[in-house]
Structure 1
């Protein structure tokens, strides 16, 4: 069962070259993802005189994030598993697929990658604001929390079904595409309400660089709850007593 496989890890494990390489891969993948996703919103706002919050802007954000995540997961898959998201890492931890200490390495790398991406965008655009995620005017924090929980549950469930499940077979080859598509679809659903983060790192970088922490806790609590629930649910119900996943996600415990 997944609970019995949960591991804290050891300091030696954290210092292992494979763990350090995995952390670097997560940093680069998250930087690629946030630079393209956040940058697309900034570019659209510039081209439309600040009218990014339009149906066309939402579609543009959906496409940019879907494509960018597809690439980011693909380039990191063989090194770190291509999490690119603290909520995915948390779901993998609760499922017993990565140790706690390794998870912390991933989190630091993901948050740093997002922050550096936003710094680069701010510099490259001549000081344009890297807008922090924000709730729509008629959306409460509790509405937003439910949105982020459900959307991230769908994302991490997709990760488990296509990349973690030892029975995944040939469907594992389309895991990055499936993961990118569910994020793109969720942005079309939740983008107008919460911005559809589903990823604490994606929210952290813009909030840090713009120093805007309004309702920021929602973008941590929602994704972590949703990702954790998805990891536990899939492990208990569909993987159960099978052997721990081999290949990509077993590699995370260096």
Structure 2
């Protein structure tokens, strides 16, 4: 269809007016990151009396590696975390409308999205290599700020439960914001740092959430192993067995 041509008063030549376009909508990364902080803090405080705050497989896996909890207990915790993620995704699907579900993918982890292009649908996002590195780095930083502070009896006693949980929530929010900001790529939801959450949304919604899902499991697993090596060989930590016996703030 030819564009609309209108004669502008006071001008000799006609001006072509472009058809109206819809305003671009972008994910409010800063707002989402800000809400991660209080949400995660409250969840940690709420689950602390039950499991010690084990709401994330990477925390549980790291705790098992360094001997804070047994491997059998860690296995049960991870199963419960994955089941909880599925229930959470189902709850979101039941209460949000289709537009919100499409925009935020039920809180799942995405590397790319399919958007309309000039010649049909196209996929935009980041490559798996870049996402894997971001997942490893961000997860390692989160582990350093959570396991190290939460299980070190000296810091845990000095800071207190509320402040320790607040620090973890703040660090997670900052890491999500940084990972989405440095990439500045539409379709990438930021560092997952919680494989259970990524899996739950993928099982419920499917589609694009299955693409690259392995990144959100392999990346954190590598970070956990690196953190284990860091704890055992680099940092001058108190013996982990003594910290387990002493009153502390396990997460």
Find 1:241's aligned residue among 234, 239, 242: 239
Secondary structure of 1:191's counterpart equals helix
Question: Whose strand proportion is higher, 1 or 2?
Answer: 2
Normalising by structure 1, we get a TM-score of 0.71
Number of the residue aligned with 1:66: 37
How does 1:153-164 map onto structure 2 within 5 Å?
A: 153-164=140-151
Contact 2:140 2:223 in 1 (8 A): yes
* Unaligned segments of structure 2, at least 5 residues: 1-22, 113-123
**Pair 121,227 (structure 1): closer, same or farther in 2 beyond 3 Å:** same
Number of the residue aligned with 1:180: 169
Number of the residue aligned with 2:115: none
CA distance in 1 between partners of 2:236 and 2:37 (Å): 27
Contact 2:59 2:147 in 1 (8 A): no
Number of the residue aligned with 2:83: 112
Q: CA RMSD in A?
A: 2.4
Secondary structure of 2:192's counterpart equals coil
1:76-105 Cα deviation digits (max 9, x unpaired): 123212121101111111111111111111
Find 1:171's aligned residue among 159, 165, 168: 159
1:6-36 Cα deviation digits (max 9, x unpaired): xxxxxxxxxxxxxxxxxxxxxxxxxxxxxxx
**Pair 235,175 (structure 1): closer, same or farther in 2 beyond 3 Å:** farther
Number of the residue aligned with 2:95: 124
Find 2:111's aligned residue among 135, 138, 160: 135
Secondary structure of 2:236's counterpart equals helix
The size of the alignment, in residue pairs, is: 201
Number of the residue aligned with 1:36: none
* Unaligned segments of structure 1, at least 5 residues: 1-48
**Pair 50,175 (structure 1): closer, same or farther in 2 beyond 3 Å:** farther
Question: Could you tell me how far 1:238 is from its partner in structure 2?
Answer: 3.1
Question: Could you tell me how far 1:227 is from its partner in structure 2?
Answer: 2.8
Number of the residue aligned with 1:26: none
Number of the residue aligned with 2:205: 210
**Pair 170,90 (structure 1): closer, same or farther in 2 beyond 3 Å:** same
Normalising by structure 2, we get a TM-score of 0.72
Larger Rg: 2
